[in-house]
């Protein structure tokens, strides 16, 4: 059983379809005004509670849209998610509505990451893609404001025929923005997106090779959406995915990924809008774990075509959304993949001799030892800040404290620890829990480790 059978890695909630932009590729075919059928605040809070119920390691939660800032209750909903132990992210549209004050309110409510779309290296190319003049300027302003507020940043870029030439220049800009993660969204022809905008399999392969080169040297992580073969490309190079708090394998439609649309429909992803239930009447956790569509999407043996024969099926699995858009069969072959599987019966190889060695406490402790208190120059281990480490397969849970509850690195430390532990070979999930019970005292410093 995969960890993704119990809980998704990420939940995307389409808070609204209202959006001031009119992007040429929009999956949601966003509309100018809010749909009266959208989830109410109470329903949204109930949804968040159910997402938290996936625990003990609840998934990442992304508030998307449309433009989530079109919902007046978005800040309280972020706070509600944070209070439920979730790490909420938000993907606002690049408009004047995203002010520094609203970003500050979101940060103070507990927003863990802000994801902003940037689809062109110049104002002309971006605005042409978004079909609203000034969107590029607003996007850069949002990035600067969020950065000044200390909000972790993610840049999302749609990869399609219109944007692919801008990718190298965008890569340099993304570095300049100081982002944590650059997410490349490979276009799926649904909503307003047309089939002729999608890249060919050969072009996708070239972009993925380029992305793998970039990831090896970039100071930020690179991830792909609807191009899970990126994990195959990395595996062919003997590399693990970048350790930026991400899953160690592909997260694909229904397999580590679940999408709730603006009226509560539960789908494998926004690009695979097959409805498996509705949060107004169905339990999200049960639908994700038990609905036949979801269980089928998580079973590599059910895949068809080259995906079904591929030795990387368990690691990649292909884009189910692209297969669905091309053939109407979500379990069919991904036409966006150029790879030819080597041999039949490859599943056993993928899940057997390729399995990584077990993660040891010594390895995790060694990783934690690289996280230093900047003032004292001592590691969190030497300071006695780590109260406990639990290892379950590829998942590591760290319980730790800080020298004081108001420690100024309070919001940063969990991410530092997560990044350090994710560098340990074989670790794919890291949860960091902060506690102040019992409070830290200097007596916890390891003997002989006084700072110099």
Cβ–Cβ under 8 Å, residues 279 and 260: yes
Which stretch, 15-23, 222-230, 275-283, 440-448, contacts other proteins (CB under 8 A)?
Answer: 440-448
Query: What distance in Å separates the CA atoms of residue 118 and residue 159, rounded to the nearest whole number?
Result: 11
**With respect to other proteins, which residue has the nearer C-beta, 46 or 105?**
105
Pick out residues in 174-233 that bind other proteins (CB under 8 A).
175-178, 180, 219-220
**Minimum distance, C-beta of residue 110 to other proteins, in the bound complex (Å):** 6
**With respect to other proteins, which residue has the nearer C-beta, 84 or 320?**
84
Residues 149-168 as x/- pattern, contact with other proteins by CB under 8 A: xx-x----------------
What is the 3-state secondary structure of the chain?
Answer: CCHHHHCCCEEEEECCCECCCCCCCCCCCCECCCCCCCCCHHHHHHHHHHHHCCCCCCCEEEEECCCHHHCCCHHHHHHHHHHCCCCEEECCCCCCCCCHHHHHHHHHHCCCEEEEECCCCCHHHHHHHHCCCCHHHHHHHHHHHHHHCCCCEEEEEEECCCCHHHHHHHHHHHHHHCCCEEEEEECCCCCCCCHHHCCCHHHHHHHHHHHHHHHHHCCCEEEEECCCHHHHHHHHCCCCCCCCCCCCCCCEECEEEEEECCCCEEECECCECCCCEECCCCCHHHHHHHCHHHHHHCCHHHCCHHHHHCCCCCCCCCCHHHHHHHHCCCCCCCCCCCCCCCCCCCHHHHHCCCCCCCCCHHHHHHHHCCCECCCCCCECCCCCCEEEEEEECCEEEEEECCCCCCCCCCCCHHHHHHHHHHCCCCCCEEEEEECCCCCCCHHHCCCCCCCC
Could you tell me whether strands 277-278 and 265-267 are parallel, antiparallel, or unpaired per DSSP bridges? antiparallel
**With respect to other proteins, which residue has the nearer C-beta, 81 or 187?**
81
Which stretch, 14-22, 30-38, 229-237, 401-409, contacts other proteins (CB under 8 A)?
Answer: 401-409
**With respect to other proteins, which residue has the nearer C-beta, 353 or 441?**
441
**With respect to other proteins, which residue has the nearer C-beta, 37 or 405?**
405
Residues 106-125 as x/- pattern, contact with other proteins by CB under 8 A: --x-x---------------
**Minimum distance, C-beta of residue 204 to other proteins, in the bound complex (Å):** 27
Other beta carbons within 10 Å of 207? 20
Cα distances (angstroms) measured from residue 37 to each of 15, 190, 264 = 11, 22, 9
Please tell me the count of residues contacting other proteins according to CB under 8 A.
63
CA nearest to 18, candidates 263, 267, 273: 263
Pick out residues in 302-341 that bind other proteins (CB under 8 A).
none
Pick out residues in 242-261 that bind other proteins (CB under 8 A).
244
**With respect to other proteins, which residue has the nearer C-beta, 145 or 319?**
145
**Does residue 434 interact with other proteins by CB under 8 A?**
yes
**Does residue 137 interact with other proteins by CB under 8 A?**
yes
**Does residue 53 interact with other proteins by CB under 8 A?**
no
Pick out residues in 58-97 that bind other proteins (CB under 8 A).
58, 82, 85-87
**With respect to other proteins, which residue has the nearer C-beta, 292 or 442?**
442
Q: Which of 144, 165, 169, 392 binds other proteins (CB under 8 A)?
A: 144
Which stretch, 22-30, 273-281, 289-297, 408-416, contacts other proteins (CB under 8 A)?
Answer: 408-416
**Minimum distance, C-beta of residue 294 to other proteins, in the bound complex (Å):** 23
**With respect to other proteins, which residue has the nearer C-beta, 173 or 224?**
173
**Minimum distance, C-beta of residue 353 to other proteins, in the bound complex (Å):** 32
**Minimum distance, C-beta of residue 173 to other proteins, in the bound complex (Å):** 8
Which stretch, 125-133, 194-202, 336-344, 366-374, contacts other proteins (CB under 8 A)?
Answer: 366-374
Q: What angle do CA 156, 160, 165 make, to 5 degrees?
A: 90
Pick out residues in 222-241 that bind other proteins (CB under 8 A).
none
Token pair of 434, please? 């902060």
**With respect to other proteins, which residue has the nearer C-beta, 82 or 102?**
82
**With respect to other proteins, which residue has the nearer C-beta, 173 or 265?**
173
Residues making contact with other proteins (CB under 8 A): 55, 57-58, 82, 85-87, 108, 110, 137, 140-141, 143-145, 147-150, 152, 173, 175-178, 180, 219-220, 244, 371-372, 374-377, 403-412, 414-416, 419-420, 431-436, 441-443, 445, 450-452
């Amino acid at each position: 059983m995969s960890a993704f059978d119990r809980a998704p890695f990420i939940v995307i909630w389409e808070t609204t379809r209202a959006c001031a932009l009119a992007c040429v590729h929009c999956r949601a075919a966003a509309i100018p005004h809010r749909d009266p059928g959208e989830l109410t605040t109470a329903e949204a809070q109930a949804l968040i509670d159910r997402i938290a119920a996936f625990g003990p390691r609840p998934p990442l939660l992304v508030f998307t849209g449309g433009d989530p800032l079109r919902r007046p209750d978005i800040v309280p909903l972020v706070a509600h998610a944070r209070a439920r132990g979730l790490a909420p992210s938000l993907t606002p549209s690049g408009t004047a509505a995203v002010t520094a004050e609203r970003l500050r309110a979101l940060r103070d409510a507990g927003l863990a990451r802000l994801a902003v779309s940037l689809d062109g290296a110049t104002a002309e190319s971006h605005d042409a893609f978004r079909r609203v003049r000034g969107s590029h300027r607003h996007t850069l302003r949002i990035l600067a404001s969020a950065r000044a507020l200390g909000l972790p940043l993610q840049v999302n870029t749609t990869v399609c025929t219109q944007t692919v030439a801008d990718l190298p220049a965008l890569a340099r800009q993304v570095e300049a923005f100081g982002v944590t993660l650059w997410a490349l969204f490979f276009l799926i022809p649904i909503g307003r997106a047309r089939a002729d905008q999608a890249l060919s399999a050969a072009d996708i392969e070239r972009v993925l090779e380029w992305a793998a080169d970039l990831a090896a040297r970039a100071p930020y992580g690179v991830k792909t959406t609807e191009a899970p073969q990126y994990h195959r490309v990395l595996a062919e190079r003997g590399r693990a995915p970048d350790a930026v708090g991400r899953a160690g394998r592909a997260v694909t439609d229904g397999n580590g990924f679940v999408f709730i649309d603006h009226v509560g429909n539960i789908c494998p992803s926004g690009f695979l809008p097959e409805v498996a239930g509705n949060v107004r009447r169905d339990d999200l956790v049960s639908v994700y774990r038990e609905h036949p569509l979801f269980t089928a999407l998580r079973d590599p043996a059910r895949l068809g075509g080259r995906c079904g024969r591929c030795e990387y099926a368990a690691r990649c699995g292909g884009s189910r959304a692209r297969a669905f858009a091309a053939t109407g069969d979500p379990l069919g072959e991904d036409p966006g993949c150029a790879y030819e599987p080597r041999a039949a019966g490859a599943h056993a190889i993928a899940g057997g001799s390729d399995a990584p060695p077990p993660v040891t406490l010594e390895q995790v402790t060694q990783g934690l030892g690289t996280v230093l208190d900047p003032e004292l120059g001592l590691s969190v281990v030497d300071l006695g800040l780590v109260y406990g480490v639990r290892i379950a397969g590829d998942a590591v849970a760290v319980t730790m404290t800080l020298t004081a509850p108001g420690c100024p690195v309070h919001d940063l430390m969990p991410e530092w620890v997560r990044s350090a532990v994710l560098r340990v070979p074989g670790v794919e999930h890291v949860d960091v829990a902060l506690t102040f019970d019992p409070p830290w005292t200097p007596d916890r410093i390891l003997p002989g480790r006084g700072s110099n």
